[in-house]
Amino acid sequence: MKFKDLKQGDFPAVPVEVGDPELPELTKRYAAVVVDCWAPWCGPCRAMGPTIDELAREQKGKVVFAKLNTDDNEESAMKFKIMAIPTLLFFKKGELVDRTTGLLQKKQLEAAIKKAFG
């Protein structure tokens, strides 16, 4: 699902594809957003994909998950100093509150979500 296809008030049960232009609006629209910074050639990124998909379903209505392809969105990658992928950015009410780098297992990702959003 692409960000432009989201209607105001929608809480997607799948990760939303987002680019440089939409990222600020997405992070302000929802109180809790996890942005998965990834690239198609990245093995650990692809390995974490199913976990992100599963959590997007489980956290629907609480946390919105987004996918930002760093190859296609260099502005955001530079702005947030993404030096390695996968990197997850945690936004609370539009503000970056935490980040993780590297492949996370589901329990580790759940703990990071709890830490970032309470």
* Chain segment 22-62, per-residue pLDDT in tens: 999 999 999 999 999 999 999 999 999 999 999 999 999 99
Q: Could you give the residue numbers annotated as active site?
A: 42, 45
What is this structure's pTM? Answer: 0.95
DSSP state, residue 2: B
Closest by CA to 30, choosing from 1, 69, 3, is: 3
Average pLDDT estimate for 81-92: 97
